[in-house]
Structure formats: C-alpha cells, structure tokens
Structure 1
Amino acid sequence: MSQPATDSVAIPVAATPRRGWGWWAGAVGLLLVLVAAVFLLFGLDPWLRQTLEKQVRTASKGRYELRIGALETHLWARTVTARAVQLRTQPTATADTAQLPDLRLAVGEIQVSGVGLLALVRREVLPVDSLVLDSVRLRLARLPATTDTARPLYEQLPLGLPGVRLGVVAVRRAQLRYGTVQRAVAQLSQASLHATDLELSAAAAADTTRIAYARTLTATARGLLARVPGHVVRVGQLHLASASQQVQLDSVRLLPLRSISSQRTPDARVALWLPRLQLAGLAAAALARGRFRADSLVLEAPQLAVTLPAVAPPPPHQLLAPYFRDIQLGQFRVTKGQVRVLGEDHRPELRQVTLVGTDIRPTAATYSSAQYLYYARAWQLRAGGGRLQVGAPYYRATFGSLQADTRAHQLTITSIAVSPTMSVEAMARRKGHQAAHVTVRADRLAVQGLDLFALARHGSLLASTIALGRVRVVTTSDGRPPINPNRSVVTPEAIGRLPVRVDVRRVRLQNGEVRMSYRAPRSAQPGVLAIRQLRVTLRNVSNDPRRMSAARPLTGEATGVLQGRSFARVAVRANLLDAQGRHTLAGSFGATPLAILNPMVVPTRGIRFRSGDIGAIRFQLQLNRQQAQGTMWASYTNLKLDLLNRQGRRDALRRVGTTLVNGLFLRDNNPRQAGQELRSGRMTSARELRFSVFSLWRQGLVSGLLNSAGVPAPLAKKLSEGE
C-alpha cells in the first residue's frame, strides 16, 4: 500500500558568524605591537649599535671604525647608555679623508639623558638634558687641517637637525695625548669639563655671551705637558671657571731643551718656574672673537732666567696678532719674583721683585705711543736686591733695594756697591795699559722728576734732581804699566758728545768720602790722598742745546776736608757743548800743616814736607783741551822740604839736594814778612787728553803751589805734568 506523501518542512538552522577585516586589523596591530615591543626590548639596542657603527664608517669613507661594547636604551626614561666605546683610525685613507685627524678614542661610558624624541621627529632643535662622558682616553697623532671654508659645527648635525641643546655636558677622568706613541707633543694626565646650556645652532653661534656654544664652562686639568720650539712646558694643575671669570695655573715650568747660556744663542732660551698664575675678570666669550679682556693677571713668586737671542725677535704685539686682534688687561702684577738675564752686557739680576703694570694694551699703537711704556700706561717696580755687570768683565754692581714709579717719576736705589772683579794688576794686564780701579759705595740714590719713559726707550737721562747719600769712592792706580792709548771720556765735553740726551736740573752728593791710592814706579808703597765730609752740588747738567750754552753753563760747588785737616771749597763753570772743553775752576783751602800731603808725595815724588804751615790758599783756573792756566795765592810759613831716595830715606846725595832746594829755590814764607805783598803763583800745565779732567785739575794746582813756593814757572810746569 502506498504511503501518503507528506509536506517538507524547512527547519531553521542558526547562521555561523562571519569574521570581518576589523578583527584581522586588530590582530595584526597587536602582533606588530608585540613584535615592536620584542624589537625594542631585544632588538633596538643591537640595531642601533650596528647602525651607529655603520654610519661612522660610511660618513668617514672608511677612515674611522667605531666599536660599541654595549648599548642600552630606555625609551620611557629617555636615556641612552653606551659602554666600552672605541673609535680608531684605519690605516687606509683616500685623498679626501687623508686630512682627517689620526686618532684613537676610548670612552668607558657615554650617557645621554632626557632626549626630546618629539622634537627629533619634528626636526626641531633637539633638547637633551645631559651628556656625560666618563673615562675618556684620546690620542691624536696629528691635528686636523683647518680651512677658512670649513662649515660651522651646527651645520654638520645628523638627520638635518637645526640644532641640539644640551642642559649639561660633562667629561670626567679624561686623558689626552697629542703626538706619536714615543713622543708626546702635548698631553693631559687627567682632565674634566663641565658645561651648562650648550646649544649647537646658528642662534647660539651668534650669541656673544656664550663660550664655545655654552653658557658657562668649568674645566680642570692636571699634568699638562706641551712642547714648544726649543722648550717644554709643564703645568701641575689648571682650573678655569667662566662663571667666576677666573683662570688659575699651579706649578708651571718652562724648561729649555738646551741649558741656559751666558752668551747669546741663535734662539732665546727661557727657564721659568712659576708656582701660581691667576687670571681674574676674564671675558671668556670674547676669546672666540679674537678679543682678550681681563681685569688682572698675577704671577706669584716666578723665577725666570733667560738667554737673549742673537737676533731680536719681533715685538710681542706682532707675535700675538695671529691669535688676538685686541688685548686689554687692567693690571699685570708680579710678586716675589726673581729675574736673571744673560747674553747681555750688563747681565742684570733682580731678587724679590714686585712689578705692577696698569692698563696693558699690547698693540702697535701703544708700542710707539708716548703715553705707554712697554704697552702699559704706568709701571711700579720694587726689588729687594740685585746685581749687574758694569763695563764687563771688569766691574760688577750690587744694590740692596730698588723702587721705580713712572707716575711719580721717581727712582730710589739703596746700598749701592760698584766694585772691580779683579785686582789692579790683573786689570792692567788684561787691558794692556793703566786702568782705573774704582770702588764706589753709596747708601742711597734718589732721583726725582725722572722721565722713565725716555730712559727705557732711548737711554736718555732726564730728571729734576739726583741725590746721593753717604758715598765712598776708593781709587787705586798703578803707574808701572803703559799709559792708556785712548782718550779719556771723563771730561766736560764728553757729556756734550753723548749719543743720548742728558738733562738733570740738580745733582747733590752729601757726606761723601774719596780715597785715592797711587803706586808710582819708583816705590812699592802707594801714595794716599783722602777727602772726607764731601758735599757736591751741580746745576744744569745738560747736553740739550735749549738749556746748555755759554750764557747758561753748568755750575757747581764742592766742599770737603782734605787729609782730615784742611777745609777745601771748589766752584766750577762749564759749557758742556763747547767742543774745546773750556771751563773754569775756582776754590780755596783752609789753614793746615803742609805735612798732610806727605802720605801722597813721599812715595810718589820722593819729597817730604819737613815743616810748613798754610794759612790759606785761593786759586782761579781756566782749562781747555790744550792746557790749564791760572793764578794761585798761597800764604804759608816756615816751608822746608826733604828729598828722599827710593827707600824713603835721606842719603848723602839727597842731603846736598835738600840744602840746595831749601836754600836757593824755596821761599820760606809767603809773604816773606808781615805787611809785605803776597807773591802769587802761576798755574800752568799742558793737558794730556789720555788723562781725565781731574788729572788736569791736579796738575794746575801742583804747578801753582810749586811756583808760589819759589820754583820757577817752567820747572813747576814740568814737575806738575810729571804727575
């Protein structure tokens, strides 16, 4: 039987939900985030390290190789730390990289903090909180070549950044060396640097208040060594602080590669020990513009020895010109210094030097300016002692203290001593003729109204007053060697012929003493003449034609006590510009026994005054380059002479001669009797230009004294010239 057909019923089935593209995008995004996170956690540092190493190699065209031992980035903290960083020069070099410096750099750690990532993305000035480099070792085999066309540093920033601004830049424990492995040209044993607000940008480069792009800069260094031409410089420690505008160097040594020489050398040799140098008020920002500005420079206790070069170097302003176009220093000061200059005739040495210079401007303008001396507007010098050669090698001079002030126009020297370096015999042998052997000592020399500018620049002596106190002069002469063949310069006309200007309004000498000793060929015992309580005043000592003439000559007076017994007075007048050396001498001697002359005339002339007393002597003498002429008025009583042999005794021959001289030539008394006319003596003596003017004075006095005593004028003249 057939079954009945049934109607089909559709049973609804639940539809399967369809996964759309949004789900896939989310999944992919999550996956990318996970991959980025994994990359940032595990792959960013290696990638960044490799990228940096590759970029250095590419940018330097293979000249440099960068190796980074470890690199860590912390994006959330915005820090990057690199350790064991090494940058080395590769041996191969192309033509365009050969000028890059040959270096080896090792940095223990580099830490960059607070990097402005948003500014980096936007290509804006990149802010960085700090950049710290620790344990830096840098060796430069040679410095890079610099050219005027080199681009500024801020134009060479990577990623096209317009600038980088770092809050703090610090370099710690740095060692720097420039030169080969075997020989360092310059090096620093340890250095540190701290800079604030350092910005590499065009705006910062134009900011005149910044120092090398930084707002402030502090640096310290120890163990500095530098080789300069012929010398080595060593500095124990250096400290620079731009905020306080101070620079300080401690334990500075400048050592010549060849020892200091007493003779001039091709190049200068300088030995310097400087415990401390302090520079205050330094405008460090101006240095980049070639301007040096500072308030003061102080050198503490320097010890300087220098050998001058055979050829004088250029003046300091020319040597400084390549580095500074303008220099201004408020004050230069040296304390407790010591200076020794060799290779110069005088070889001066100064001890305990204090030197202060004001308004220092080493420029071409001040070099020749009448208002500046050695580039300073004023100088003050004090020295606690010193010495120098005078007429080397025959004399040396020493002094106890020295003070000079260009503003006060004063010079004061105390405890002066000028003494020979050898005996009178040795000096005569070395010179080959008779020579002055003079010792001078003075307690004080004071100069007022002194033009120190003219003295330093031209050697001219321009002053209002020169005063000497407690002067002692001792001269020793030996008449046995040949006479000096050269003309004497101790003459009035010699001052007029000086190549430098001399103009002193007044010269005064107080409380002086002169002792003259002369050994004649006839006797080993020297003759001695002494003058004590000497006072001298000279006026108008000048070779300036505007001040010196016959109408306005030099005038002067001198007083003293001869041989401790006779008061003497002398007056002089001289035109120092008179080529014939014409001058006049007038004077007087007080009452005294003639025996006071025996210490001089007995050993030198073989004559002894047995008796005789001078009442008074007056004289007037005219002198020139040919002769001395004048008149002497000598009053005396009971004049008797003894003629002596070389042993200083009266033998039979001398007894006869004594009788003849006393009986035939000598006038016992002048005047012969009371009320009679005083017989004057004729003063006549020829001048020998090889002798000083003082010899001519003495010759005139001797001739006049002999003629007054009755010796005929021709014989008196001959005897005086024989002196």
Structure 2
Amino acid sequence: MKPIWKWVIGIFLSIVVALGGILWYFSRNWRPLVEDKLAAVVKNSSDSLYRLTYDDMDLNLALGNVTLTNVKLVPDSVIYQQMETAQKAPDNRYDIRLKSLKIKRFGILDVLRSRKLNIRSISFDSPDIHVIHKYHSYNDTLARPPRKTLYESFKDVLTSVNVQDIQVDDVSFKYTKIDQGKSSDVSLKNIQIRVHDVLIDETSLADTTRFYYTKLVEVAVPGFTYEFSDGFYMAKFDELKINTRDQNILLTNVHYKPVMDRTAYFKKRGKNVTMTTLHFDTLRAEKLDFQKLVENQQVIAEKVQIKDGSVHLFGDKRFPKTPVNQIGQAPHQKLMRVKSLVRLDTVIVENIDVVYGEMSGKFHREGTITFDQASGRLTNVTNDSSALKTDKYLRADLRAKIMNRGNLHAKFAFDMLSKNGAHSYSGSVGPMGAPAFNKVLYPLLNVQVASGNIRGVRFHIEGTDHRSWGDFRFDYNNLKIDLLDDQGQKKSKRALSFLVNQLIINDSNPDANEKYHVGKVNHRRVPEHTFFKNLWESLLDGIKQTAGISKEREAQLMGTAAKAKNTLEETENTVKKTKSFIKKLFKKDEEESGVEK
C-alpha cells in the first residue's frame, strides 16, 4: 500500500473517531436537556396535572434513536384535588404506562438548523391506558379560556413536529366512570393502533384533511364483552375496525342479549317487561365525522349499514304489566329528545329477521309473528332542527316476508317537527295462505284459521299521538275459522264456530253479494299502548271492517252467539237432568220389584 493511502485512511478514521466522540459527548450531555424539555412540555400542556417518568433513556444522536423504558404518564392526585376545589378539574383523567417507547431516525440537524423535528417512526410497546371519567357540572356552565393546543405547548422549543408512522401494539384500555361515589368499568385488550403522517405545526390543526394532526388512524379491537349494571343484559362484538382516512367504522358479530334465560329473566323482573335480543353480523358506518364524534359526541355519517341478523322481542303475560302512559314515546319522538346531535343521511337494512313472541297468560302457550328477511332503507334520520327545516320527514321504505309467506312492503313518514307525533304509513301484502297466522292466533287467542286465501292487502293510514285514520283494503276468499277449547280441540266449539263463520265474518271480500268492503279506519289510541301496538290495532280495525264486522254487528252477533251458546248449554243440562231422572226412576222400580243388581 502506498504511503498516501495510509494517510487518507488514517485521516478518515481520525474523523470518524472524532465525530463518534462528539456524538457520544452530546448524547451524554444532551440527555439532561432533553429530559428537562420533556418535563416542561408535559407540565405546560396539562397545567401541572401530569408527571412523566421513566426508568432509563437511551439516546443515540448518530442514528437518531431514542428509547425510553417503563414510561409512565400519571396524574398528580394533589393537583387534581386542588383543581376540583378551584372548579377547574377536567372530567377525564388519563393514567398511561408502557414497557418502552422507541423513537427512530429523528433528524438532529433539522432541529439545530430550523427547530423542526422529523421522525421516521415511533413505537409503543404494550401500553396500559386507564381513563377515569368523573362528571363536573361546572364544565358545562362556566365559561373557560380556551385550552392550549399541542402546538402552543412546544412552539417555544420547536416550530413543527412530523412523524411518518406510529405503531401501538397490544394496548390494554380501561374506562372507569365515577358517578355518585360508585364506579363502573369497561375494559378492552389486545388493541392494535397504527397512525400515519402526523404533522404538528401552526396550521395543521385547521387542516380538514387531517384528524387531530394525522392523515390516518387505524384501530383494530379483536373482541369486547360488557355486562350492563342492571344485571339483565350484555353487549359483545367479535371485531371493531376504525379507519379515519376513509371515515369508516366496522363492527362484526354484534350481540345485545340477556345474560339469563327467559324463565329467569321474567322471574327476576317480576313483571311483563319485553325481553330484547339483537344480533347483527355487520354494523358499518361510512363517511363518519370522527372530529365531531370525539369533540362533541355528535353522530354524523352519510351511511349506516345493518346487515344479516335478527331482532327478537318477547313478552310474558303470565306476569303483571305496569300501565305507563306511552304518549310521546314514538321512535321519532324519542330521537328528537336525544341530547347529542344525530344526522344520518341513509340507514340501510339488509336481511334482518324480526320476531315478536308472547306467552299467553291464559293458555300458557307461546305465539309468534315474524317478519323475515327484512330489508330497506331509512333516510333523513336526524334530530338536527336546522336540517329539518329543509326536510322535516324521516322516511322508511321496508320490505319483508310476513310469517315467511307473503311479501310485505311498508312505507313510513314521520314528521320530526310535529308537536303531536304526526306520522303516516302505507303498504301492501302479497298473496299468501291465511292459516300461516295460526302460529300467533292459536297460542294467544285459542282460535285457528281452517282455510283462507289472502289475495292482497293495501292500506294508507295517518296518525298522531291520539288518533289514526285512513283506508284499509283486504282481498280474500274461502275464509273459515275454528274456535278451540282449552285443550286445543274444536269439537266442543263446533256450533260456535259455525255461528261465527255464518253470521259474523264474510268468507270473502268481495262478499257473496259481490259487495266490496273497504275499512275506514278511525281508531282512538289507548294512552298506555305503545306506538307499535297502536299501529297494529289501527290495522286490526281495518281488517274487521273488510271482513264485514262493524262494531254494532260484532256486538249484536256476538250476543246472538252467546245466546246460542247458552241455549246449547241449557239443552245439555236438560238432557243430563232427564237422564238422571230416568235412571233414578228405573232404579226405584228395580228396588220395589226386588230385582237384584
């Protein structure tokens, strides 16, 4: 090797050693400076409420890496009590702990030259996050100076911070709510979070393409189970996915169900309170405004999808039901009373089976009515009064198979600004066999349809909180019903069934005289009946009229049927008495003649 190359290599190695020594010196001597700045940023941004601690800091300026181990961001309980006394305490406190925090490839030269911090990646190892919520009424009523933004907290040190990627693995999250001295917890585990392109500078917070300084936040929660404090219900899902860039939320295999079986449920309730079970394979929200959701708890989205599932409602009339005034409790009226703003452009329902079951208090049998494969859409689902001034109607257009037979198509229109609950609904049912309704008629009413063909149903009803009115058309033929006794047999009720079929109902519409009966619904609501029960009773009013049963005729003919029943019973009693008299007479003759038995 020539001498000149020896000099070049020697000089190069000397430079490397010198730079290494300088970087080593700065790494050791910058550590106190970095620690002081970190502590100052945390203190200033939280009004001294939080303290940042860690066991060790490994700072390598040459590679631009920093590693903190056993990191803790904890609230100071003494400071918090002082803030409560001064009515300045926030509703939420955060206790955050993690095994390690790794910052890779930060540009030290950019910090020195322009006070800009650029970081390639940050990773959090096994964070344990505990959020403690304690409501303070003064946070709603007192005017407060605006809190410092994140940028304002460090602008004296840095002009901007940019992080390309943040990875948070295996997060444990716990939410504790303290209310009147009692606490309740919700816990999630194994959460994965990925954040892309974080920019904190003077203008980024106002950037509408960013969600809290970020271009993308992805969250994946592998599962969740929560039992409600009332001890009756639980909620669970298999997976939750959040994507702030696409503005989507996806929940899979969602359940809301009782934690006990029906027998235990109603025994514990001690009264007839509807038992509700919900299951949906997919719940999705698209174009959801995460900013409004986080800041103001407002739910604003272009589309919500509910797909593949079931709704089961069950009542038990063997238990008492406490009468409650239901005026003003229709679904659209309840939506208007929700405190937080809700604005959903479209809610799409796909393939949902709706089942209502009821246990008869008299016959102790369960009857069910089903609306299978329900699908459709709801539009303008909102309680936003300003938006409702432009269009005040929430509309629903739904289709299903009633009793898994006839095609049902129903449309609803709810006047969201009405003071008296104004609404309307119209619809139709396609051809189906009437005996399909025996699943609800026999268990609950001890009546069954012997035969009958429903050719079609059409209706249009308008209503308020107190009354419903409209037209009901019911085309059918060959309708016969059987009245049954308590053992479900029709033999002893054959005469009554005959009277009802011959005198009370028309076996077809148009009837035998070719007269077509149109139901003119004019139903006055019973205040204790729910919105949906009132809807059914209004339709039932139309069904009776189209079957030829006016209220006067029903009362008159039912009186005739009762009279006929009494006559039959009297006849049977007379026969029994006659048989008994003859039997006794023959017995007396036998005794007098000395005939042995």
Q: Distance in 1 between matches of 2:539 and 2:375?
A: 20
Report the Cα offset of residue 508 of structure 1. 1.2
Of 168, 171, 174, 1:334 maps to: 168
- The alignment partner of 1:343 has SS state of strand
Q: Which residue of 1 aligns with 2:507?
A: 668
Report the Cα offset of residue 562 of structure 1. 1.2
Q: Which residue of 1 aligns with 2:59?
A: 240
**Which 10-residue stretch deviates more, 376-385 or 248-257?**
248-257
Change (3 A) 1:478 1:297: farther
Report the Cα offset of residue 533 of structure 1. 2.1
Q: Distance in 2 between matches of 1:581 and 1:383?
A: 40
- The alignment partner of 1:695 has SS state of helix
Q: Distance in 1 between matches of 2:329 and 2:206?
A: 33
- The alignment partner of 1:457 has SS state of helix
Contact 2:99 2:127 in 1 (8 A): no
Change (3 A) 1:551 1:250: closer
Change (3 A) 1:347 1:682: farther
Report the residue type matching 1:416 in the other structure.
V
Query: Is 1:699 aligned with 2:518?
Result: no
Contact 1:424 1:477 in 2 (8 A): no
Change (3 A) 1:403 1:552: same
Q: Which residue of 2 aligns with 1:223?
A: none
Of 423, 427, 444, 1:583 maps to: 423
Query: Is 1:407 aligned with 2:253?
Result: no
Contact 1:352 1:383 in 2 (8 A): yes
Q: Distance in 1 between matches of 2:308 and 2:161?
A: 44
Report the residue type matching 2:531 in the other structure.
V
Q: Which residue of 2 aligns with 1:573?
A: 413
Report the residue type matching 2:25 in the other structure.
A
Kindly provide the CA deviation profile for residues 147-193 of structure 1, in whole angstroms up to 9, marking residues without a partner as x.
Answer: xxxxxxxxxxxxxxxxxxx9969xxxxxxxxxxxxxxxxxxxxxxx9
Q: Which residue of 2 aligns with 1:612?
A: 452
Report the residue type matching 1:592 in the other structure.
M
Change (3 A) 1:305 1:359: closer
Query: Is 1:483 aligned with 2:322?
Result: yes
Report the Cα offset of residue 301 of structure 1. 5.2
Query: Is 1:354 aligned with 2:188?
Result: no
Of 375, 378, 383, 1:535 maps to: 375
Report the Cα offset of residue 418 of structure 1. 1.9
Q: Distance in 1 between matches of 2:396 and 2:26?
A: 73
Q: Which residue of 1 aligns with 2:103?
A: 279
Of 312, 332, 340, 1:492 maps to: 332
- The alignment partner of 1:710 has SS state of coil
Q: Distance in 2 between matches of 1:197 and 1:633?
A: 87
Change (3 A) 1:492 1:391: farther
Q: Distance in 1 between matches of 2:92 and 2:289?
A: 32
Q: Distance in 2 between matches of 1:687 and 1:362?
A: 61
Contact 2:504 2:553 in 1 (8 A): no
Query: Is 1:712 aligned with 2:563?
Result: no
Matches within 5 A, 1:366-515: 373=211, 376=214, 378-388=216-226, 393-424=231-262, 426-427=264-265, 433-479=271-317, 480-483=319-322, 485=324, 487=326, 489-515=329-355
Change (3 A) 1:212 1:390: closer
Q: Distance in 1 between matches of 2:468 and 2:27?
A: 88
Identity within the alignment, %: 19
Query: Is 1:343 aligned with 2:177?
Result: yes
Of 584, 599, 602, 2:439 maps to: 599
Q: Distance in 2 between matches of 1:197 and 1:379?
A: 33
Q: Distance in 2 between matches of 1:554 and 1:623?
A: 15
Change (3 A) 1:455 1:253: closer
Report the residue type matching 1:195 in the other structure.
Y
Change (3 A) 1:311 1:508: closer
Q: Distance in 2 between matches of 1:651 and 1:346?
A: 60
Report the residue type matching 2:128 in the other structure.
L
Q: Distance in 2 between matches of 1:411 and 1:620?
A: 37
Contact 1:635 1:670 in 2 (8 A): yes
Contact 1:519 1:526 in 2 (8 A): yes
Matches within 5 A, 1:61-80: none
- The alignment partner of 1:661 has SS state of helix
Q: Distance in 2 between matches of 1:568 and 1:709?
A: 20
Contact 1:406 1:453 in 2 (8 A): no
Change (3 A) 1:370 1:699: farther
Contact 2:129 2:171 in 1 (8 A): no
What TM-score results when the alignment is normalised by the length of structure 2?
0.69
Matches within 5 A, 1:33-182: none
Contact 1:414 1:444 in 2 (8 A): yes
- The alignment partner of 1:195 has SS state of helix
Contact 2:281 2:307 in 1 (8 A): yes
- The alignment partner of 2:499 has SS state of helix
What TM-score results when the alignment is normalised by the length of structure 1?
0.58
Contact 1:316 1:362 in 2 (8 A): no
Change (3 A) 1:316 1:383: farther
Contact 1:397 1:416 in 2 (8 A): yes
Change (3 A) 1:361 1:477: farther
Q: Distance in 2 between matches of 1:302 and 1:486?
A: 52
Gaps of 5+ in 1: 1-165, 170-192, 200-209, 215-227, 259-265, 718-723
Contact 1:428 1:481 in 2 (8 A): no
Q: Distance in 1 between matches of 2:121 and 2:148?
A: 17
Contact 1:442 1:470 in 2 (8 A): yes
Greater relative contact order, per chain length (Cα 8 Å cut-off, separation 6+) = 2
Report the residue type matching 1:245 in the other structure.
G
Q: Distance in 2 between matches of 1:445 and 1:707?
A: 42
- The alignment partner of 1:359 has SS state of strand
Contact 2:110 2:118 in 1 (8 A): no
Contact 1:548 1:554 in 2 (8 A): no
- The alignment partner of 1:574 has SS state of strand
Q: Distance in 2 between matches of 1:549 and 1:581?
A: 16
Report the residue type matching 1:335 in the other structure.
D
Gaps of 5+ in 2: 1-18, 35-47, 78-90, 179-183, 556-597
Q: Which residue of 2 aligns with 1:130?
A: none
